[in-house]
């Protein structure tokens, strides 16, 4: 069953009266339990497509559906609720709240969902252990390495128990050893918990683990490759 769908999707940006086509006529379905990557050179449209599929931006034409629900039919509050309940995000720049501890960053999503404080803390500590950061719950982001911050970001994405996690260049700021550990964690979550992942990346470490690689070039799908070591 498709959890994310793009049907004839296009995106045009306009800057000072100049229009630039970022995507054109994209048809794509991401299945539940997938471990897929949007690949291609810089400017190919992969981050734009990830943002559209994650309800962070609106297409200029075409339809995006999440879990069968057309996003165009939803208002801002409904879109926010959908992102909160069904999607988890891992960003290249981590996007952790600097004044919060690691545990508090993870708890924040659950607080928005109305989860009681005691249950939030218990789950946050469990998630920290799951991403190999047990005992670091009181550390603030600036007291942690880049790899540790990215693992906190993964734990935060998992906190809402989302249907799918979208990750934009999650290894871009990591050394290869740390990147491999992070990706192995994500592969494990996909295999053992069925968590769906969709990446935007040009990192070979990501692409070689993907079950499907969707190659973009100049805003269109160039080809789709199946199969991986994941």
Dist. CA 32–CA 225, nearest whole Å: 18
Closest to 107 in 3D by CA, of 90, 87, 121, 94:
121
Dihedral over alpha carbons 88, 94, 97, 98 (to 10 degrees):
160
Calculate mean pLDDT across residues 114-118.
92
> Contact, 33 vs 193, CB < 8 A?
no
Question: Is the pLDDT assigned to residue 229 strictly greater than 80?
Answer: no
pLDDT bucket at 12, cuts 50 / 70 / 90: very high
Out of 11-15, 29-33, 63-67, which region has the weakest mean confidence (pLDDT)? 11-15
As to burial, measured by CB atoms within 10 angstroms (0-12 exposed, 13-18 middle, 19+ buried), residue 202 is middle
Question: Is the pLDDT assigned to residue 40 strictly greater than 80?
Answer: yes
What are the extents of the domains in the chain?
98-160
Closest to 166 in 3D by CA, of 3, 46, 51, 84:
51
Average of per-residue pLDDT values in the chain: 92
Question: Is the pLDDT assigned to residue 230 strictly greater than 70?
Answer: no
Q: In the chain, pLDDT over 90 holds for what percent of residues? A: 73
Strands (E), the chain: 2-15, 18-31, 35-39, 61-66, 69-70, 87-90, 164-168, 196-200, 212-217, 220-226
pLDDT bucket at 228, cuts 50 / 70 / 90: low
Radius of gyration of the chain (CA): 17
pLDDT digit string, tens, across residues 160-216: 889 899 999 888 888 888 889 889 988 998 998 889 999 999 899 999 999 999 999
Per-residue pLDDT, 173: 80
Per-residue pLDDT, 63: 97
Dihedral over alpha carbons 230, 137, 92, 46 (to 10 degrees):
50
Per-residue pLDDT, 1: 80
Calculate mean pLDDT across residues 129-136.
90
Cα dist. 189→77, 175, 195 in Å? 30, 21, 6
pLDDT bucket at 33, cuts 50 / 70 / 90: very high
Question: Is the pLDDT assigned to residue 18 strictly greater than 60?
Answer: yes
Does residue 91 or residue 61 have the better pLDDT?
61
- Partnered with residue 69 across adjacent β-strands are 66
């Amino acid at each position: 069953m498709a959890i994310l769908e793009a049907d004839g999707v296009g995106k045009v940006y306009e800057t000072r009266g100049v229009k630039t086509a970022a995507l054109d006529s994209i048809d794509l379905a991401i299945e539940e339990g997938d471990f897929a990557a949007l690949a291609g050179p810089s400017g190919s449209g992969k981050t734009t497509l990830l943002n559209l599929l994650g309800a962070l931006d609106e297409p200029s034409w075409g339809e995006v559906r999440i879990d069968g629900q057309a996003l165009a039919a939803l208002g801002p509050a409904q879109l926010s609720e959908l992102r909160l309940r069904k999607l988890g995000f891992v960003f290249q720049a981590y996007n952790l709240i600097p004044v919060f501890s690691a545990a508090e960053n993870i708890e924040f999503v659950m607080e928005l969902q109305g989860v009681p404080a005691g249950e939030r803390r218990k789950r946050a500590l469990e998630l920290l252990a799951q991403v190999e950061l047990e005992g670091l719950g009181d550390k603030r982001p600036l007291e942690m390495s880049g790899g540790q911050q990215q693992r906190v970001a993964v734990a935060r994405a998992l906190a809402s128990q989302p249907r799918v996690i979208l990750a934009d260049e999650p290894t871009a700021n990591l050394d290869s050893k740390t990147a491999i550990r992070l990706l192995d964690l994500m592969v494990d979550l996909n295999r053992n918990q069925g968590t769906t992942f969709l990446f935007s990346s040009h990192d070979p470490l990501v692409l070689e683990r993907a079950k499907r690689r969707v190659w973009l070039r100049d805003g269109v799908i160039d080809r789709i490759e199946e199969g991986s070591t994941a």
